[in-house]
Amino acid sequence: MSRAAGQVEAFLEMLSAERAAARNTLIAYEKDLADARAFLTAHGDLDGASTEAVEAYFADLGARGLSPATAARRRSAVRQFYRFALAEGWRADDPSRRVEAPKKGRPLPKIIARAEIERLIEAARARDGGGPEGLRLACMIEVVYAAGLRVSELVGLPLSAVARDPAYLIITGKGGKDRLAPLNAPARAAVKAWIAARAALLPKGDKANPWLFPSGRAGGGKISARRFAQLLDETAIAAGLDPARLSPHVLRHAFATHLLEGGADLRTVQKLLGHTDIATTEIYTHVTAERLAEVVAAKHPLSKRRD
């Protein structure tokens, strides 16, 4: 193993042990640093590259036509590696330090109104003539909106999570970190209705299915995130909504936005969403600010005055 390869391995171990980085994050960083090493091989590899060589690599990322997000992540991986190398004493300088990262615009999350969510839930409940499929879908929407879950967290809920009509769920999120996700009264009522009908959706031989939201297909297992997204699209059309405005993640956005509009503080919303960095949560303050500006422009009496 080369010196640079050993340093990369130590860097990844640090991310895993000290920052509890998720497996997918470690895989992405490993690929990013492998890409940097491939470019820098002729310039002393990662451990011996000059500032000029790192600048050339960053410029090359922009010239390849990569997506802004991919290029930004690769730059970030290299920067973090060199900060780690400097702290470990492997280098006396940080060759990535003087290279300014390009400004990357961040799109505002899509949002839907409370009334639209109510229409969506009613349309979901009416699916399958009000049968088990409709109750399952309505329950999934209620739980996502009540607790702000990621879709992977939703479909991964075990049946045991709601065994005693809980007021909250314990969710294991990114990085293996647990958080409390409260359930409101409508969500708890939806869970009760779904549990009462759940057995009817289970195929023969799958009565011991451990998932809260089983797939309902032969072979058992849980409903997939992709299938949930498809059902949302179908239900949006039934509710008279544009399916392009809806996704499982949009329901999570709605949870956060509506909390902030209702007066919740940013730190609380950060904890409920399971965000490690509050900067990720701050995007919702821009959304609520825009909504407030629209309300003022439309409703404030001074906005209707004419010169």
- 74-78, 212-216, 297-301: least confident range: 297-301
Residue 6, pLDDT > 50, answer yes
Whether 123 and 235 map to the same domain: the answer is yes
**pLDDT at residue number 296:** 47
Q: Is residue 243 part of a domain?
A: yes
Residue 294, pLDDT > 60, answer no
Instruction: Tell me the mean pLDDT in the region 94-113.
Output: 67
Residue 258, pLDDT > 60, answer yes
Whether 210 and 119 map to the same domain: the answer is yes
**pLDDT at residue number 62:** 79
Q: How many CB atoms lie within 10 A of CB 182?
A: 13
Q: One of 174, 188, 227, 291 is an active-site residue; which one?
A: 174
Whether 8 and 129 map to the same domain: the answer is no
Q: Is residue 41 part of a domain?
A: yes
Token duo for residue 6: 């050993």
Q: One of 83, 110, 249, 291 is an active-site residue; which one?
A: 249
Structural domain of 12: 3-88
- Known active-site residue 249: yes
Question: 3-class SS at 168?
Answer: strand
Residue that wins the pLDDT comparison between 101 and 222: 222
Which CATH number belongs to the domain containing residue 156 in this structure? 1.10.443.10
The answer to pTM > 0.85 is no
Q: Is residue 99 part of a domain?
A: no
Q: Is residue 95 part of a domain?
A: no
Which of 72, 88, 104 is the last residue in one of the domains? 88
Q: One of 125, 252, 253, 258 is an active-site residue; which one?
A: 252
Q: Is residue 306 part of a domain?
A: no
The domain total for the chain is 2
User: Is residue 156 within 8 Å of residue 169, measured between CB atoms?
Assistant: no
CA 185, CA 153: separation in Å to the nearest integer?
Answer: 20
Q: Is residue 171 part of a domain?
A: yes
**pLDDT at residue number 293:** 56
CA 263, CA 268: separation in Å to the nearest integer?
Answer: 11
Binned at pLDDT 50, 70 and 90, residue 37 comes out as very high
Most confident of 153-167, 188-202, 204-218: 188-202
Which CATH number belongs to the domain containing residue 33 in this structure? 1.10.150
The separation between CA 232 and the C-alpha centre of its own chain, rounded to angstroms, equals: 17
- For the stretch 197-216, pLDDT in tens is 999 988 887 788 999 999 87
Q: One of 150, 179, 222, 253 is an active-site residue; which one?
A: 150
Which of 54, 88, 122 is the last residue in one of the domains? 88
Residue 42, pLDDT > 90, answer no
Average pLDDT, the chain: 84
- Known active-site residue 275: yes
**pLDDT at residue number 245:** 87
**pLDDT at residue number 191:** 95
Whether 157 and 278 map to the same domain: the answer is yes
**pLDDT at residue number 307:** 47
Q: Which residues contact 14 (CB under 8 A, 6 or more apart)?
A: 84
Most confident of 40-44, 136-140, 151-155, 202-206: 136-140
**pLDDT at residue number 146:** 92
